[in-house]
Structure formats: structure tokens, C-alpha cells
């Protein structure tokens, strides 16, 4: 007789919104129930006037009991098995439908903004709830787009506060501190500490908060800088660690490698549903358009925009090397898909169309109606590897119907954003 | 006229002990001087009675001024260049002789204890100053042997407290959290976090405290587990990152790799005199003698000790693989030598004699007067790589006169310690 008064239940976090409905349903089916007395006292209107300085979010255990807990009374006469089975059957017959709380870190970055756009367009019932952090409600999730203003992810207290406050059931971890190769190679210590600390804090907190929240799906975003500097193509997940990354972004790359490893270790040690996505080169609106620091396509757009067409445009190298290029909006769609569909151990490599640098420059010039001459200096020393093709067959198998935006359309959209 | 009253000077930390002598010397040579008025007020006997709760160590800036600062008066009539040169000449003519403060972390480990032993024997004037942490005074340094009792290196506050308190000019960072392969592979998250956090805290704090202390020499101890699992011999520093480490100690190994990298990044970004030593297999007294978790030689000693000589001793594998084995006391001597003599970018690889596993077993059995039969099961699957020879030629060039203890003498000393 472990329970002499009542059986305590907790709904999983994604079913919080169904608590009232569920309790009414139980009552209708003859199962008496009550709220659990302790709850979160700070939310009690009278008590809150005595402790105005306290935030209910600081008591995550009480919050959980408050919002998701209930008692079912224990009968004074022992029940037989059939009645207990009936109780269970009634409970499970309820039409549970999960409603998620999805936290996106780094929401001011290029990728974070595309994720927000795709989320906004995915549901006609989108409702913008708040602006700091920006919150959007869709039919299956509330989305919390956190930025630097909502907390410094290098401070574990800030990360804990965000988790206490929003109790996310899903996390898309896009936040990273990066800069031009020149800046990163000048300050390796800072780029190592900032990135590794953010990643450690996010994964550790997500793991620890599973006690309150239940299983959390966490998707981390990696980077091709992780690949060894002289990797043989096609690069797959088995070759990521076969050599040092490029020295120009070494400490940033090692922080991404440790993020991939930690993701893996949380899976093996605690069976966490943490996964990682490893995207190749991507481009798009919202991003950096500084010719010296921006991703390849964005830098080319900025360069051509500022070029006097009567002077030949000078490009470094031969233009022959092939690169996989992807529109950031496609990556955003894949990341959102992965929340539901990707649960494998290995980082999921995704990449776009493979084109030569010269084809790419021609394409951009054409879209921008640039009429001037384009000249490559044909210095092979500036080319870098001729191909760095990554193996995307795992993704192709898992999501065969996914259609990437054509490069020309992606570039066109990016130019439009850049010009307006 | 920047100074209307006096010129403020700070002695470097290793000359703290000469401050009084130096000030008397200045006075004798006609250079008037005074203590800097602010100093550390909490050390003022009267004031200290009003703030008994305060620790003077919590004010490292005031401490520095207190213990190493002084004023030289400025003459009311501008001095000519010759007089200023004379002032400088007098100051530099003082017989400065550095006296270091050397912090050893992980002093309860096998290596830490050998370092303490070698330090104790190096000077006849050794004076044991304190027991918590154990402090030893030799003719050129005060040695602070910190253990878990003196602070949890995973807490940055504890590390800062140790640095505030002892202001070390040299650090030997031996502390690490390790266990058997079985334990480490079961809890990769913990071994990653604990080790990477300790390392990050130690290096970051040492860098930051250079503001108060002046340049700090820091020697970190790495491990052969860093090497790729199927590294080709001879392994040198260029091959450390050419592949994943052995999965059994993967997260520990990655934490060591990141220690080596961070050491390197502090050198390139801030010109810190941080170096690292990468020792191969070592053995000795004080260590673990649990047959399942101890280093190779220690485990064999424990195994043979408990063996009934009338039953054949079963060994796994063929006994053919070659391994480099080193007495921990030799490693301690090399680490102490590196404080003065090693300032290169690359981890310094050091290793002992190369012997086959079967030779090693014979040698230990002989030293232990074990008369029983020894049988290898000759299962080549249990052998691991046939050789994992590391390239020690850099060390051999830098310290050609170093003589390693013979394997048999090292083993003999270890057995003696184990039996008593």
C-alpha cells in the first residue's frame, strides 16, 4: 500500500496544454482527481504579493508539479486488477497530442532567421506572442527564438534561466561565435573558450533539465571547418577526425568537433536524443555581406555590387575548384525536419549543388546583371583543394523527396534581400 | 613631468624575497625610497582587527603593491640624462637572484609524489614548511604541492584562490581525472567535463594572473592516449591528430588533446611560456596496483604477487608486442628539468626503454622471485598494435646527458614500495 491518499501523476511536458481537458475527461469517466497541493506557491495570487521579488521560474520542480501534476484518489477498499486495468485504459484512450516548446539559440544569425521564416510560413495560424525573445505559436509548437539579449550562453546561469523559464522539449542549437579566418586565427583562445563553453552549457543543461522536462530532442549545428584540411573526397563522418582542421579556423573547428563528440557521448552514456547536422557551405539573406568575412556567395555578391563594370573584376585562383553550395533556407527546412525524423548517432552531412567557382561567379554576375569582364588570375596556389565533396548519401536515403532550391533561385533571393 | 612625487616600481615576483635587501642597497647608494602608501591595508595590524573576515589574498593587486612595490622620490629639480642613467645602472647592478614559487597540481598522484620526492632530495636545505598544502623550500623555489583538499580545480573560484594565495611563478599541471578504460568508456561525458574544465581553469587563470605575477612558466602533462588508435610508428607530434584515439578512453584523450591545443593557442596568441610534456607508459610506486585498472607494470606486479606459483600464470596475447616503458621518477626529473630548459611549441615526447610484453613479464617475475610457469594464450587478437614506438629524438637532442633508470632497477624499487 504505497499510496494511502492518492496516486500522483505528471503529464509529460508536451501535454501540459491538455491538462485541464484531461482532468475533465477523467472526471467524466468516473476518475476523481485533484491538483497536487504543493504546486508552485509563488503563483498563488495572495502569496505572490508577499514575495514580489521571487520568480516562479526559479523553482522548476514546483513549476512542473503546478502545471503538469495531479492526484487520483485511492479507494479505501483495495481495487481488483480489472478495475486498475480499466483505469489505465481510460487514461491511455485520451487523445493526447503533443505540443512542443522549441528553443532556437543564435536566432539572430543567418540560419536562425531562416528557421524563423520557415516556421512562420509553415502554419497559417502563426501567432507572434512576444518580441523578447521572439515567440511564435504554430499548430504543434511554441517557438522561442533566443538571441544574445535573452542571455549569454557562455554563462551557465543564463542558460539555466532560459531552460527554467521556457522548459523546452526541443532545442535547435545554432549559436556560435565566429568571425573572419583572420580574426579567428589571431584569437584562438577566445574562439575556443566562447564556443566550447556555450556548447557545454547548452548540452549539459538540456541533459540536466530532462529531470523536469522529460526527454529533450536537441539538434546541434556543426560546420565543414571540422573536416581535416587535406581530407580526401568524398568526406564522410568516418573521415572527420583523420587530421587537423585548417589552421585559419583551428580553435573554432576543434570546438565544433568537441560539440559533435559531446553530442555522441550524451547519446551513449545517457541515451539522450541529441543529434547533430553537419552542413557544407551555405549562403543567404540576413548574413554577413562584408567581402572579407562573409561566406563565399555573400562575399561575391557584395564584391560584384561594388565593382565598377568598366574595370575587369579580378578573382583569385583558377576558378576551377568545385564547391558544394546550399541555400540557407534549405538548411533551415532540413533542420526542422530533423526534429521529427533524425535520431541517428552520426552527424548528418547535408550539402547543396556542386559547382565550380567560375560557374558560381558567372551565375551571380548574371543574376546581378553585371556586364563587366571577369578575370581569374589563374594562380593555382590560391585554389585550395580542387574538390571537397562531402558524402550526403545518408541524408538522401532518409529524405529522398527533399528538393533543394536551385542555386540560381537562391542567389536571386539573396541578391534581392541584399539590394533592399 | 608624469611624476610629481615619486616613481613607482614593482619587483618581479621571483625577486619578492630581495625587496628589503634591495631597498637598503638603494639607500646605501643614495637613492631614497619609501613603501607605496596603499599596500594591502588588510595586512595592517590595526586595520586587520576591524575586518577579521577578510583575507588579504582576495586583493591580489594590493598584495603585489604591498610585497613588491616601492617609491623612489623625484627630485624637485629636473635631473639630467647622466644622473638617470646612473640610477638605472645602480638598480641593475644589484645581485638579483630569482626565487620561484612552483605550484604542482595533482600532487597526490603517482607523478606528483615522485616530483615531491625528487624536489626533496635535490636540496640538502629542504625545509618542510607546511602540510596542507605540503610546502617545501629549496634553494631556488618554494614548492606548493596542491591536492584535492586544497581546492577543486573544476571550480574556477578554487583555482583563482590558489593563484591568489600562492602567486606561483611556475606551474606543473599534473592533475587529471582518470580511471580504468571500462569506467572511462562508461562515463565519457564526466571524464570530458572534469578534465577539460580543470585544464581550462588552470591555463586561463595562469594567463590572467600574469598581470599580477609576471610571466608564468606552465608545464602540462599529456598522455599517450592522445595518439590515434592505429597510429603508424614512430609516432611524433605531427601524427597526434591523424585519427581518433582509442574508443576506450576517447573522451579523456580528447580532453588531453584540447589541453595540448590550448597550450599552443596561449603561446601563439599571448606568447605565454606554456609547454607540454607527452610521456609514454610509465610505472612506479604510489600508483594504483589494482590489476584491472593500474598501468601495465603495476598491474603485472599485483597480478604476480597474488599468483599461486603452483598454478600457471595465464597472460593474454602472444607477449610479442613491443612497448616503451618508463620509471615515473625519471619522468619527474624530466618535468623538473623542463621548467628551466624546455620552451618549444610542440609537446615534448618522452619515453623509456622498448621491451616486449613477454620480456617485461619475465623481468618482473624474476625481480619478484616468482618461480611458477608463465603462459601466454597466443591469441593475436588480444595483442593490440605490435609496436607503438614514439619518436623521442627531440628530447634526446635537448638533453643528451639524461640517463634513464634501468627497467630492472625501476621495477625493483616499485616492488619494494608495493611490498612494504
Cβ–Cβ of A189/B244 closer than 8 Å? no
Q: What is the pLDDT of residues A369-401, one digit of tens each?
A: 998 999 999 888 888 778 888 999 999 999 999
- Domains, chain B, with CATH or none: 6-92 (3.90.1150.10), 100-419 (3.40.50.720)
A204, A241, A251 ranked by CB distance to B265: nearest: A251
For residue B354, list its beta bridge partners.
B324
Q: So what's the pLDDT on residue B1?
A: 52
Count CB-CB contacts under 10 A for residue A142: 20
Residue B50, C-beta contacts closer than 8 angstroms, at least 6 positions apart: none
Give the span between the Cα atoms of B420 and B416, in whole angstroms: 6
Q: What is the pLDDT of residues B167-178, one digit of tens each?
A: 999 999 999 999
B59 phi and psi angles, rounded to 5 deg: -125, 70
Contact A327, A315 (CB under 8 A): no
Any B CB within 8 A of A253 CB = no
Residue B403, C-beta contacts closer than 8 angstroms, at least 6 positions apart: none
Q: Binning pLDDT at 50, 70 and 90, where does residue A134 land?
A: confident
Contact A254, A192 (CB under 8 A): yes
In the three-class reduction of DSSP (H, G, I as helix; E, B as strand; rest coil), residue B128 is classed as strand
Judged against a pLDDT cut of 70, whether residue A124 lies above it is answered with: no
DSSP secondary structure string for all residues of B174-201: -------HHHHHH-HHHHHHHHHHHHHH
**Averaged confidence pLDDT in chain B:** 90
Any A CB within 8 A of B239 CB = no
B188, B268, B269 ranked by CB distance to A268: nearest: B188
CB hemisphere CA count around B59 (13 angstroms): 14
Any A CB within 8 A of B187 CB = yes
Judged against a pLDDT cut of 70, whether residue A148 lies above it is answered with: yes
Any B CB within 8 A of A236 CB = no
B193, B241, B266 ranked by CB distance to A200: nearest: B193
For residue A273, list its beta bridge partners.
A217
Contact A69, A6 (CB under 8 A): no
Judged against a pLDDT cut of 70, whether residue B131 lies above it is answered with: no
Q: Binning pLDDT at 50, 70 and 90, where does residue B61 land?
A: confident
Q: What is the pLDDT of residues B220-278, one digit of tens each?
A: 999 988 999 877 778 888 889 889 998 889 999 999 999 999 999 999 999 999 999 99
Give the span between the Cα atoms of A356 and B64, in whole angstroms: 60
Q: Binning pLDDT at 50, 70 and 90, where does residue A5 land?
A: confident
Cβ–Cβ of B189/A266 closer than 8 Å? yes
Q: CA B324 → CA B133, B249, B266, distances in Å?
A: 34, 19, 31
Q: Binning pLDDT at 50, 70 and 90, where does residue A151 land?
A: very high
Interhelix angle A188-213/B188-213, rounded to 10 degrees, is 140
Mean pLDDT for the stretch of residues A127-137: 75
State the complex-level ipTM: 0.86
**Annotated catalytic residue within A99, A252, A254, A286:** A252
Q: So what's the pLDDT on residue A1?
A: 52
Judged against a pLDDT cut of 60, whether residue B199 lies above it is answered with: yes
Contact A113, A284 (CB under 8 A): no
Interface test with B, best of A189, A263, A272 (most B CBs within 10 A): A189
Q: Binning pLDDT at 50, 70 and 90, where does residue B53 land?
A: confident
Q: So what's the pLDDT on residue B231?
A: 77
Kindly state the DSSP code that residue A377 receives in the 8-state scheme.
-
Q: So what's the pLDDT on residue B300?
A: 92
Overall residue count recorded for chain B in this entry: 420
Q: So what's the pLDDT on residue A3?
A: 65
Judged against a pLDDT cut of 60, whether residue A2 lies above it is answered with: no
Q: Which long-range contacts (CB under 8 A, 24 or more apart) does A148-153 make?
A: A148/A108, A153/A105, A153/A197, A153/A198, A153/A201, A153/A202
Tell me how many residue pairs between chain A and chain B have CB atoms under 8 A apart: 60
- The chain B residue lying nearest A244, using CA atoms, is B241
- B292: cell is 584491472
CA B369 vs. chain centroid, Å, equals 36
Any B CB within 8 A of A267 CB = no
Mean pLDDT for the stretch of residues A261-278: 97
Any A CB within 8 A of B238 CB = no
Judged against a pLDDT cut of 80, whether residue A232 lies above it is answered with: no
Q: Binning pLDDT at 50, 70 and 90, where does residue B127 land?
A: low
Q: What is the pLDDT of residues B72-125, one digit of tens each?
A: 888 777 778 898 898 899 999 999 999 999 999 999 999 999 999 999 987 655
Q: So what's the pLDDT on residue B126?
A: 56
Q: So what's the pLDDT on residue A238?
A: 86
Catalytic (active site) residue A252: yes
Amino acid at each position: 500500500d504505497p499510496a494511502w491518499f492518492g496516486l500522483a501523476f505528471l503529464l509529460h511536458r508536451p501535454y501540459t496544454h491538455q491538462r485541464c481537458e484531461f482532468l475533465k475527461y477523467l472526471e467524466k469517466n468516473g476518475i476523481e482527481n485533484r491538483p497536487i497541493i504543493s504546486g508552485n506557491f509563488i503563483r498563488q495570487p495572495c502569496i505572490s504579493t508577499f514575495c514580489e521579488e521571487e520568480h516562479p521560474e526559479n523553482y522548476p520542480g514546483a513549476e512542473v508539479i503546478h502545471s503538469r501534476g495531479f492526484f487520483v484518489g485511492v479507494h479505501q477498499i483495495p481495487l481488483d486488477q480489472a478495475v486498475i486495468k480499466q483505469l489505465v485504459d481510460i487514461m491511455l484512450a485520451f487523445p493526447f497530442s503533443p505540443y512542443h516548446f522549441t528553443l532556437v539559440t543564435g536566432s539572430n544569425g543567418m540560419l536562425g532567421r531562416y528557421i524563423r521564416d520557415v516556421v512562420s510560413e509553415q502554419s497559417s495560424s502563426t501567432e507572434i506572442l512576444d518580441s523578447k525573445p521572439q515567440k511564435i505559436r504554430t499548430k504543434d509548437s511554441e517557438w522561442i527564438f533566443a538571441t544574445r539579449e535573452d542571455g549569454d550562453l557562455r554563462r551557465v546561469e543564463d542558460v539555466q534561466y532560459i531552460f527554467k523559464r521556457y522548459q523546452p522539449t526541443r532545442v535547435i542549437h545554432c549559436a556560435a561565435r565566429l568571425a573572419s579566418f583572420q580574426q579567428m586565427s589571431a584569437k584562438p583562445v577566445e574562439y575556443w573558450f566562447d564556443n566550447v563553453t556555450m556548447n557545454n552549457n547548452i548540452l549539459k543543461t538540456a541533459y540536466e533539465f530532462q529531470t523536469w522536462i522529460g526527454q529533450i530532442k536537441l539538434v546541434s549545428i556543426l560546420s565543414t571547418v571540422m573536416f581535416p584540411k587535406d581530407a580526401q573526397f568524398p568526406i564522410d563522418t568516418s573521415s572527420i577526425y583523420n587530421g587537423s582542421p585548417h589552421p585559419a579556423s583551428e580553435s573554432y573547428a576543434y570546438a565544433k568537433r568537441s560539440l559533435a563528440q559531446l553530442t555522441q557521448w550524451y547519446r551513449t552514456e545517457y541515451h539522450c536524443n541529441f543529434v547533430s547536422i553537419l552542413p557544407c557551405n551555405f549562403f543567404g539573406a540576413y548574413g554577413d555581406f562584408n567581402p572579407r568575412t562573409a561566406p563565399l556567395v555573400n562575399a561575391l555578391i557584395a564584391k560584384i555590387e561594388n565593382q565598377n563594370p568598366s574595370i575587369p573584376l579580378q578573382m583569385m585562383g583558377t576558378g576551377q575548384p568545385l564547391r558544394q553550395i546550399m541555400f540557407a533556407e534549405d538548411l533551415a527546412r532540413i533542420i526542422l525536419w530533423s526534429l521529427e525524423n533524425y535520431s541517428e548517432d552520426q552527424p548528418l552531412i547535408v550539402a547543396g549543388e556542386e559547382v565550380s567557382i567560375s560557374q558560381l561567379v558567372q551565375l551571380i554576375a548574371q543574376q546581378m546583371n553585371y556586364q563587366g569582364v571577369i578575370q581569374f588570375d589563374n594562380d593555382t596556389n590560391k585554389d585550395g583543394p580542387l574538390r571537397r565533396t562531402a558524402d550526403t548519401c545518408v541524408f538522401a536515403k532518409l529524405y529522398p523527396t527533399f528538393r533543394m532550391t536551385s542555386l540560381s533561385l537562391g542567389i536571386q533571393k539573396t541578391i534581392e534581400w541584399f539590394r533592399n
